[in-house]
Amino acid sequence: MKAGLLPPGIHKADLDEVLAFFGTTTWRVWLLEGLRLALMDLAAAGCGSVYLDGSFVTTKTMPNDYDVCWDMEGIDFDALDPVLVDVEWPRRAQKVKYRGDVLPNVTEAASGKLMMEFFQTDRETGASKGILLLDPRRVTS
């Protein structure tokens, strides 16, 4: 396994644990503030599961952002922030408001896998890697 990746699998965590483990720089804490807002907005629409991935959940000192995908089960799409459904690249509005990529857990075009499955494969090596599972309903301001 490539150094700095989570062990394969889905690992439950809460946002305070993510902050304690991955909030190691001012930049990372700034990104996590955006993630907190995204989680709160998703929770307000009924979302119960969000999968966190990307270079953010590695030992990389300066990840560009974070990547998450959210489970659509139970979502009240009328209550969902329109920024969260505008998933066309380059997702500028998401980057401005949430500081990361916030995607629904739909099929990723190139791989044919659900995003949460796609997230569990290292794009450089093809090896399995871990992701974090967050419950946005447990996030407070």
Burial label for 120, CB within 10 Å (0-12, 13-18, 19+), is buried
Residue 141's pLDDT is what?
75
Give mean pLDDT in consecutive 10-residue pieces for the chain, a chain of 141 residues: 81 96 95 97 98 92 94 96 93 96 94 95 91 95 75
In our burial notation (b when 16+ CB lie closer than 10 A, e otherwise), range 53-88 reads: bbbbbbeeeebebbbbbbbeeebeeeebbebbeeee
The single-letter code of the amino acid at 20 is A
Residue 2's pLDDT is what?
59
Q: Where are the domains of the chain?
A: 9-138
Neighbours of 101 (CB within 10 A): 20
Instruction: Record the pTM.
Output: 0.94
Q: What are phi and psi of 41, to 5 degrees?
A: -70, -40
